[in-house]
Amino acid sequence: MNLSIDQMKGNWNYPTSVRFGCGRIVELPEICRAAGILRPLLVTDKGLAGLEMVQSILARNEDAGIPTGLFADVQPNPIWRNVEAGLQQYREGNHDGIIALGGGSPLDVGKSIAFMVPQSRPIWDFEDIGDNFKLAISEGIAPVIAIPTTAGTGSEVGRGTVITNEETHVKKIIFHPKMLPVVALLDPELTVGMSPKMTAGTGLDALSHNLEAYCAPFCHPMADGIAIEGIRLVKENLVTAFTDGKDLVARSNMLVAAAMGATAFQKGLGGIHALSHPVGALYDTHHGMTNGVFLPYVLAFNRSAIEDRIVRLSSYLGLEPTFDAFFSWILELRAAVQTPHTLAEFGVDDTQFERMAAMAVIDPPAYGNPIPLTEESLISIYRKAYVGDLSSR
């Protein structure tokens, strides 16, 4: 059943409180009050900060008696310095909560600021390894309202962030259960301004999250169910959103698919993300598009371990129930949204594969890959992705 845009509205509570539907940004003052946030700091990026959308949000909150500060020193692939500057402004402004608005970078910085409010340890002590999160001071972590303006990372429903250590040039996943925003406000109208290029990159990120979660070799049937529906939504809507950015049905479905991906990947991620993180850290590439470049190469590498699962997925998606049919669809989708087929086309040279492989093999998503990854296998995938070699091994 296809829903009209008027029907695409709802309040959900999984994994946090979600308010979904066009025009729901007007509810933000009410949401702030319900969350006990009366002096929020709005965290966004410089590109969004000057737009009418942000200015109207600030004015609406002001009119409702909720004075709201603005922090916009956030870069793509955010670094600790962005978090540190926001934390200082948060404390100096005597704020009591965060409104994180934008793509994955502002959402991750906003959540990191909120998390670091009571901490005395460096943020790197809370990398998502083992029980590091138990080192954190939980009391005093600020509440976050997350408002995505892109449909990719799903950070609005996630309990982690990705911050680059600018000294080591390594991306770190920081995790704590209380990083989960208290409310995720999904208003598809806020995503209409995304360029086709950004729509493609973020959409491929959502696809990668859902697909890697589905293929991760762990038992989590609920995540599997969410992931396959998320993949279907990407299949049926990404190209439309890319070609007609004002199609609110496609924008709505992609926004939901992104949130579903981040919900599903509590099961795990895999080689796509492990390979992408070093590239983003060293070459400052867009994370979602980097995932899109690696998608077929990691699928080919993992084929022997995931073929049965992909066959079932292909049937659900209305494709011929074979691995090859799914693989062909991935290649067709990448071409339709103008994804570079190789690292060389993406502007990544072949001089740092050994360094990147050493980074990727210890990246937390690597441990969720269906076939165990080694530095040698990662170097091989980097080389194949550089020249466009889609062979399995």
pLDDT in tens, 106-118: 999 999 999 999 9
Q: What percent of the chain has pLDDT over 90?
A: 94
**What pLDDT does residue 93 have?**
97
Measure the CA–CA gap between 80 and 83, rounded to whole angstroms. Answer: 5
Closest among 279, 77, 264, 69 to 161, alpha carbons compared: 77
**What pLDDT does residue 3 have?**
79
In terms of C-beta density within 10 A (0-12 exposed, 13-18 middle, 19 or more buried), how is residue 195 classed? exposed
Give the rounded distance of the alpha carbon of 315 from its chain centre. 27
Measure the CA–CA gap between 20 and 348, rounded to whole angstroms. Answer: 38
pLDDT at 94 over 80: yes
**What pLDDT does residue 392 have?**
81
Average pLDDT over the chain, rounded to an integer: 96
pLDDT at 13 over 90: no
**What pLDDT does residue 169 have?**
87
Is residue 192 within 8 Å of 245, Cβ to Cβ? yes
**What pLDDT does residue 55 have?**
95
Q: List the structure tokens of 120.
A: 């005395």
Cis peptide before 78 (omega within 30 of 0): no
pLDDT at 1 over 70: no
Q: In which band, very low, low, confident or very high, does the pLDDT at 270 lie, cut at 50, 70 and 90?
A: very high
In terms of C-beta density within 10 A (0-12 exposed, 13-18 middle, 19 or more buried), how is residue 260 classed? buried
**What pLDDT does residue 381 have?**
98
Domains contained in the chain, CATH given: 10-190 (3.40.50.1970), 193-387 (1.20.1090.10)
Q: What percent of the chain has pLDDT over 70?
A: 100
In terms of C-beta density within 10 A (0-12 exposed, 13-18 middle, 19 or more buried), how is residue 12 classed? middle
**What pLDDT does residue 333 have?**
98
**What pLDDT does residue 238 have?**
98
pLDDT at 365 over 90: yes
Backbone angles phi, psi at 216, to 5 degrees: -60, 140
SS3 content of the chain, % helix, strand, coil (to 5): 55, 10, 35
**Over the stretch 302-337, which tens digit does the pLDDT of each residue have?**
999 999 999 999 999 999 999 999 999 999 999 999
pLDDT at 393 over 90: no
Three-state secondary-structure class, residue 119: coil
